[in-house]
Structure 1
Amino acid sequence: MDYMIGVDLGTTSTKSVLFDLEGHVLASSSKGYPLYRDEPDMAEEDPNEIFEALIDSLTDVVRAGKLKAGDQIRGVSFSSAMHSLIAFDKNWKALTRVITWADGRAFKYSEELKANGVGQEIYSKTGTPIHPMAPLSKLLWLKNERPDIYGQAAHYLGIKEYIFHRLFGANKVDISIASGTGLFNIFQLKWDKQALELTGLSLDQLPTPVDPYEIERGMVQEYAKVIGLPADTPFIYGAGDGPLSNLGVNAIQPGVAAVTIGTSGAIRVVTDKPKIDPKGRTFTYALDRDHWVVGGPVNNGGDVFRWARDNLFDAEKSTAALLGIESYDLLTEIASKVPAGADGLLFHPYLSGERAPIWDANARGSFFGLTHYHTRAHMVRAVLEGIIFNIYMVALALEEVVGELKSVQATGGFAHSPLWRQMLADIFEQSVTVPQSIESGALAATVVGQKALGLTDKIENIADMVGDAKTYEPNPENYDVYRELTPIFIRLSRQLETEYANIANFQREHVHVKTTEQ
């Protein structure tokens, strides 16, 4: 038997999954690590902790697979969170931790780029909206506020490139990850001259762009021995987690949108060429040279639900633990007792600023419409609905760029919840399909790996692996409520823009919170 391993390098955990060549899961292992928030707007990880999580998870699945004589793991292929940045000196010593997509400290430089028009020029070539998430803005922040690090930095990598450098000594980046940096010209498929001039970088400070089908062999013997794989096992670069999420749920046909809500969230559609939004609201990232993912990411997904659980339902969290049930299931059961629209209570989920569609790092969360008759049950329902309302705002912008959305494929942690699935169908007024495979990112990575190794001729063959799906139809009884509330939700986010900046500046000056999120 032949097998593939798909690795998903995520924001708070790394998961390795062992598949057969038909896409069936044989074993999986997930290892978590902290997200450090030592100062306002910071969101960093320790690259060594991520590397150790990778080694541990690969070791686990190789052992759990219990391969017999003659069995072979044909390759290991990767999906990875995008927009991360690590600076290294000339000897490849890390000068920073991993500055993740969620880090907002570059907000000032993003706002300056948007105000002076340079940002739109760069966006029109790179497809990455101007926002603190992008390495483009992070580099400007380092240049201006960490000149000691910027002056020493001889190399810059993201987390996946760091992994490949540790394992193979490589200095490469796939075009999918590169297309999310704000430094990469998606029409020329090379580092953008204007972006490099703006940040002061030279080409030799950046990794060499390669296709997602690029293969590395000759792993460092020390790591190969620990993992239990031959050192010549092919490791395939794969792509970014967003593009691979579309592939993983078979949402690669025109008009088929993939909605993913994990820690963060996104909605994306695949096109055959890059498409730029004149208003700068959507991204365009490569899956490969022939498949481009257009969409919008949101900062605030499942992490907002976690905030509600930890801060509004601590007693219920403890009760769930004693009963041996999942605390999130208990909360969605509580929310299901409240009617659609939470009796007029709206929640803007901007606890971490926001990317699409408002691209405002200063945005902050809020309940609106709170009255004496609202309870905690209303609040948790409003939180869940607010996350979906926000995704729907992105969908409206996306339709202006790619045309009408025909159907929705849903994935991510939220897809386990029937209540959330139904909310998505009702607010979008679209059929929502949830594919059977819950390891969609890792599965998609293995399909890219199979194509790289010549085991399949096209990535579209993933349609045969995704498995059965469950479809949720919109409930007409909820249409009128959501149709009335959606415009209020949208108008509020625009009307509060000035006050978002004011309250965010107050918090940066007066609030000093240090947290470590697991």
Structure 2
Amino acid sequence: MYVIGLDFGTTSTKAIVFDKRGNAVSEHGVEYPILTPNPGWAELDPEIIYVAAITSLRVALSRVKSSEVVAIGLSTAMHSLILMDELNQPLTRVITWADNRSDEQAHVLKQSTLGKQIYLRTGTPIHPMSPLCKIMWFKENEPELFKQTHKFISIKEYLLFRWFGQFITDFSVASATGLLNLQSLEYDSDALQTAGIKKEQLSTLVPTTYVLQGLSDEVAEAVHIRREIPVVIGASDGCLANLGIGAMNRGEVGITIGTSGAIRTVTPKPITDPSERTFCYALAENHWVVGGATNNGGLLLRWFKEQFARELSYEKLTEEAGKVGVGSEGLFCLPYLSGERAPIWNAHARGCYVGMALHHKREHFARSAMEGVIYAIFGVGKALQQLAGDFGSLRASGGFVQSKLGCQILADVFGTEVIVPENPQSSGWGAAILALFAIGEIPRIDYYCGEDSHTHTYAPHSDNHIKYQQFYTVYEEIYNQLSNTFEKIAEIQGIKKE
């Protein structure tokens, strides 16, 4: 028996075939480019993602008997937006979470009392990533296109329409739009009015365990799978990552550091932050994911490698960085190459090194970059602790934590044990688990959480933790001192806030 997790990401779509124990027996992914037609914009071609999903499924399924696959579960990146016309054709590309064109709309709304009320009810921070702010941008800047729009949907909704002919969305993806009231699980009237749309222009809301059957003939034939295979609508990738790594109980915290980064915990009811630092998204009944995301994770290390260490592998680069002591001998890195989300929610924040001296070499800069990424995650973690309580353990996933040095820095900064689960495909496995639960193959959503399967555990070094706590206060100080300067730099770079 097999189950598939199909994960629609920002830079690739991947299909992973799992056995019932969570072992990945086959997988295939297709990468695609992020399109940047204007400064601050970040788009994807929906047709390319559609083809990537078909290709990923077909190749992954070719290595197993498709008759033994019991279900497909879906995972998707959050905050995407596509405008569709009345003939159900896309009027735009996919506007991704990384798109900052609605910075002005987010800024104005965030300064208002209404903005805070909408956040407290919807759990989605007011930020250019939010589909609410993106829709406001179209209303103000593309009024004719806005009037032509019949539906405002996400990339997963687009694919489900192509597959099943229905416009539906799960509570998890909807809860990341800024348009869903977390208490009523209905679209929020104030948010709709602010966006200037009607609820009929949004997809029908369903639970994350909703099962669809009756794939289109085109998709079934292209993938070589039966039309009636159960397809479970699933949830957003961040929520599913916690499920996939087993961070589902009180005190268990999931950290994912891939291109970006996030820290999350699961609570039995929705929790929002009066200081508006964190998000709250739905996973399943009585399971809410509270946390915060940073824009800059492995993205920073990739940028550093491409600019200054192209001849080195990531393994060699982190090996170099490991020769440098804690704190990089007084060199600090603010990792904000693409602005920042939690906890500062400043799209105008910029990356920089502070403290450079003649004794600093490439390895100092590499380690400082890694420390900067962890400091950013730690800042979100502090806010999360205030809302949801102390951490018992950290479960980490993503490309960044495949580095032993990265995991050790993470343990030392937090002062908490870090567990790296055996299965690196956290969101895909989470989607597969949810699918197994939805079709009745497992009795509860946290069925796998009691299993202690992990490859490495990293214990914090107390001396290093004490040092990092001191260094983190300097890191915070540097940002606070430079926050006003970042506004001026953003204006010079052409991203002016009205």
CA displacement at 1:403 relative to structure 2: 1.3
Unaligned residue ranges in structure 1 (runs of 5+):
318-326, 511-518
Q: How big is each residue's C-alpha offset from its partner over 1:156-206, in whole Å with a ceiling of 9 and x where there is no partner? A: 110111111111111000000000000000111010000000111111110
**Structure 1 ranges of 4+ moved more than 3 A:** none
Contact 1:345–1:382, Cα closer than 8 Å, also in 2: yes
Contact 2:135–2:195, Cα closer than 8 Å, also in 1: yes
Identity of aligned residues (%): 41
How many angstroms apart in 2 are the aligned matches of 1:199 and 1:509? 23
Partner of 1:340: 326
Partner of 2:52: 53
Partner of 2:22: 23
Contact 1:255–1:404, Cα closer than 8 Å, also in 2: yes
Q: Alpha carbon RMSD of aligned pairs, Å?
A: 1.3
Is 1:198 the counterpart of 2:184 in the alignment? no
Alignment map for 1:14-163 (pairs within 5 Å)? 14-66=13-65, 71-163=67-159
One-letter identity of the residue aligned with 1:347: C
SS of the equivalent of 1:65 reads: coil
One-letter identity of the residue aligned with 1:14: T
How many angstroms apart in 2 are the aligned matches of 1:18 and 1:342? 42
Contact 1:436–1:466, Cα closer than 8 Å, also in 2: no
How many angstroms apart in 1 are the aligned matches of 2:480 and 2:143? 35
State the TM-score, normalizing by the size of structure 2. 0.98
Is 1:256 the counterpart of 2:227 in the alignment? no
CA displacement at 1:465 relative to structure 2: 6.3
Contact 1:444–1:462, Cα closer than 8 Å, also in 2: no
How many angstroms apart in 2 are the aligned matches of 1:148 and 1:349? 39
SS of the equivalent of 2:263 reads: strand
Contact 1:14–1:50, Cα closer than 8 Å, also in 2: yes
How many angstroms apart in 1 are the aligned matches of 2:18 and 2:44? 28
Is 1:172 the counterpart of 2:168 in the alignment? yes
Partner of 2:241: 245
Partner of 1:378: 364
Contact 2:58–2:224, Cα closer than 8 Å, also in 1: yes
How many angstroms apart in 2 are the aligned matches of 1:275 and 1:58? 36
Is 1:364 the counterpart of 2:350 in the alignment? yes
Bigger drift between 480-489 and 273-282 goes to: 480-489
How many angstroms apart in 2 are the aligned matches of 1:208 and 1:480? 51
How many angstroms apart in 2 are the aligned matches of 1:57 and 1:463? 28
Alignment map for 1:393-432 (pairs within 5 Å)? 393-432=379-418
Q: 1:507 aligns with which of 488, 493, 496?
A: 493
Contact 1:23–1:466, Cα closer than 8 Å, also in 2: no
Contact 2:169–2:205, Cα closer than 8 Å, also in 1: yes
One-letter identity of the residue aligned with 1:408: L
One-letter identity of the residue aligned with 2:485: E
Q: 1:459 aligns with which of 436, 445, 450?
A: 445
CA displacement at 1:495 relative to structure 2: 2.3
Partner of 1:300: 296
How many angstroms apart in 2 are the aligned matches of 1:369 and 1:150? 48
CA displacement at 1:218 relative to structure 2: 1.0
Q: 1:434 aligns with which of 411, 420, 427?
A: 420
How many angstroms apart in 2 are the aligned matches of 1:378 and 1:418? 17
Q: How big is each residue's C-alpha offset from its partner over 1:42-93, in whole Å with a ceiling of 9 and x where there is no partner? A: 11111111111100000001101245xxx42111111110010000111111
Unaligned residue ranges in structure 2 (runs of 5+):
none
Q: How big is each residue's C-alpha offset from its partner over 1:84-126, in whole Å with a ceiling of 9 and x where there is no partner? A: 0000111111111111111111111111111122210100100
Q: 1:475 aligns with which of 435, 445, 461?
A: 461
State the TM-score, normalizing by the size of structure 1. 0.94
One-letter identity of the residue aligned with 2:204: T
Partner of 1:7: 6
